[in-house]
């Protein structure tokens, strides 16, 4: 091994990723030989832990950039954001693929995951609807993403055929995302006695959907910011020229959507007359989430967009992403089973945290593998202006 | 505040929501005006840069 190869292979991130993959492999063996009890703190009171609260709820919400960006470009005709579509679709595709991957760890008998779709459809169940939508949308995203892979492989005829489906797939993607982003919130409607009244609301499905749009727009900015330094050499002149416009436009959109989300949250408080809970410890935590991670980012996005302050917008995108993760954690874990004594409350085990970190690292490695080889941040020279 | 009937509760909650909705609409108009206030200046700047 030459010293140059050593230098590029043994980077701090690669060493960290290697350690995480080894720990992930160990935890995978533990999980599939010893069962859920061997690596999790799950029990009958808390059957859904961070593999649902983080890997699934956050994974699906953070992948919303795919349908928001493609809808903006292909349905609303905002062609100036076109260069953001492929990174957003790739992030969404990997996000959903990892959600399904992580689900294999969480369900008791993962080999039965296809059963609800093909053998025993429970058509009156919300969970069935979520499963069907995720299954269909992952397929849609795989086809949408495959255009880049086919260009890389040089399969021109197949690429041309798939590319003709773009508008149809975008519409299908928007419909499916609207359905399952909201249904993930609707899952918690079944537990009014378990979820704290400040977070429980009949508006939960709308809150999940609207916050997913806000975090989808933010993820495009956030992911673009993170990618800019390591993959700058892969970005073509069009991508770099449109980059600031994408950030400013998406910041304006995210500001208004976050304001909508804040409005729905306030109306939900008023409709259920839950004001009294605000003056409690739970109320302080709720206000921390709403003021710090919804109202503040909405205002900062507005200021950033008005003043064309790209740096402020990038930091606000990170704040929004963290805020939606915090909201999903609050709904699924923190404010869930809030009346149970602390000894019976759920806290994730190291094994659960390890698997979640493992899943994220696998996602980053696959993302890096793809963007360093396929036309994601640049247009393939043979397909210039073929959009 | 104590409510003795469901009607009392709904009346109170709906009153609050209607007032909130009015305030929110005004807030949205204000936010949109705030966000777009400098658009004309920025457009003029980019127009000058092109020439």
Q: What whole-number distance in Å separates Cα of residue A124 and Cα of residue B1?
A: 39
Whether B31 sits inside 8 A of A307 (CB atoms) is no
Whether B20 sits inside 8 A of A267 (CB atoms) is yes
Angle at alpha carbon of residue B20, lines to B18 and B26, rounded to 5°: 110
Q: What is the pLDDT of residue A387?
A: 55
DSSP state of B17: H
Shortest CA gap A122–chain B (Å): 35
B chain contacts of residue A302, beta-carbon cutoff 8 Å: 31, 34-35
pLDDT single digits (tens) A172-185: 999 999 999 999 99
B35 closest CB neighbour out of A266, A270, A302: A302
A79, two tokens? 């062609």
User: Is pLDDT of B3 > 90?
Assistant: no
Mean pLDDT over B17-46 rounds to 90
Whether A267 sits inside 8 A of B24 (CB atoms) is yes
A chain contacts of residue B13, beta-carbon cutoff 8 Å: 270-273
ipTM: 0.89
Mutation pick from B18, B31, B38 vs chain A, by most beta carbons of A within 10 Å, is B31
B chain contacts of residue A259, beta-carbon cutoff 8 Å: 27-28, 31
Whether B35 sits inside 8 A of A267 (CB atoms) is no
Q: What is the pLDDT of residue A385?
A: 59
Shortest CA gap A231–chain B (Å): 28
Shortest CA gap A264–chain B (Å): 10
- Whole-number average pLDDT of chain B: 88
A chain contacts of residue B38, beta-carbon cutoff 8 Å: 306-308
Shortest CA gap A262–chain B (Å): 10
Q: What whole-number distance in Å separates Cα of residue A79 and Cα of residue A238?
A: 12
Give the chain A residue whose CA is nearest to the CA of B21: A267
B chain contacts of residue A298, beta-carbon cutoff 8 Å: 31
Q: How is chain A split into domains, by residue range? A: 19-35+45-379
Model pTM?
A: 0.93
A chain contacts of residue B37, beta-carbon cutoff 8 Å: 306
Which parts of chain A have pLDDT scores under 70? 1, 4, 385-387
Shortest CA gap B6–chain A (Å): 12
Is there a contact between A262 and A270 (Cβ–Cβ < 8 Å)? no
Q: What is the pLDDT of residue A102?
A: 95
Q: What is the pLDDT of residue B41?
A: 81
Whether A273 sits inside 8 A of B31 (CB atoms) is no
A270 closest CB neighbour out of B20, B27, B34: B20
Q: What whole-number distance in Å separates Cα of residue A325 and Cα of residue A58?
A: 6
Shortest CA gap A271–chain B (Å): 5
Mutation pick from A244, A248, A250, A263 vs chain B, by most beta carbons of B within 10 Å, is A263
The CATH class of the A19-35+45-379 domain is mainly alpha
């Amino acid at each position: 091994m030459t010293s140059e190869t050593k230098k590029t292979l043994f980077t701090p991130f690669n060493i960290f990723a290697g350690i995480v993959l080894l720990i992930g492999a160990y935890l995978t063996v533990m999980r599939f030989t010893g069962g859920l009890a061997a690596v999790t703190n799950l029990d009958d009171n808390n059957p859904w832990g961070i593999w649902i609260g983080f890997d699934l709820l956050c994974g699906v919400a953070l992948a919303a950039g795919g349908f928001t960006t493609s809808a903006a470009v292909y349905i609303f005709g905002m062609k100036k954001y076109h260069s953001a579509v492929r990174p957003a679709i790739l992030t969404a595709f990997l996000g959903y693929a990892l959600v399904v991957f992580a689900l294999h760890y969480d369900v008791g008998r993962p080999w039965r995951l296809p059963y609800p779709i093909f053998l025993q459809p429970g058509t009156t169940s919300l969970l069935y609807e979520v499963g069907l939508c995720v299954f269909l949308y992952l397929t849609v995203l795989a086809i949408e993403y495959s255009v880049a892979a086919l260009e890389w492989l040089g399969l021109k005829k197949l690429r041309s055929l798939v590319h003709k489906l773009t508008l149809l797939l975008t519409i299908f993607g928007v419909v499916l995302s609207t359905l399952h982003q909201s249904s993930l919130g609707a899952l918690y409607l079944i537990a009014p006695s378990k979820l704290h009244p400040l977070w429980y609301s009949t508006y939960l499905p709308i809150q999940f959907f609207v916050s997913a749009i806000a975090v989808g727009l933010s993820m495009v900015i956030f992911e673009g910011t993170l990618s800019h330094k390591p993959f700058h050499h892969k970005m073509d002149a069009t991508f770099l020229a449109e980059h600031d416009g994408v950030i400013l436009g998406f910041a304006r959109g995210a500001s208004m959507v976050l304001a909508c989300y804040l409005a729905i949250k306030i109306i939900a408080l008023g409709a259920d007359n839950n004001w009294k809970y605000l003056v409690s410890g739970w109320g302080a935590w709720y206000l921390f989430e709403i003021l710090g991670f919804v109202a503040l980012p909405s205002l900062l996005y507005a200021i950033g967009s008005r003043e064309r302050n790209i740096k402020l917008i990038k930091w606000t995108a990170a704040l929004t992403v963290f805020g939606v993760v915090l909201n999903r954690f609050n709904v699924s874990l923190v404010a869930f089973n809030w009346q149970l004594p602390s000894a019976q409350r759920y806290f994730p085990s190291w094994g659960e945290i390890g698997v979640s970190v493992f899943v994220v690292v696998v996602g980053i490695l696959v993302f890096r593998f793809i963007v360093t080889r396929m036309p994601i941040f640049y247009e393939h020279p043979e397909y210039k202006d073929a959009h | 505040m104590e409510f003795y009937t469901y009607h009392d509760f709904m009346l109170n909650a709906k009153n609050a929501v209607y007032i909130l909705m009015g305030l929110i609409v005004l807030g949205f108009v204000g936010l949109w005006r705030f966000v777009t206030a400098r658009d004309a200046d920025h457009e003029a700047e980019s127009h000058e840069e092109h020439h």
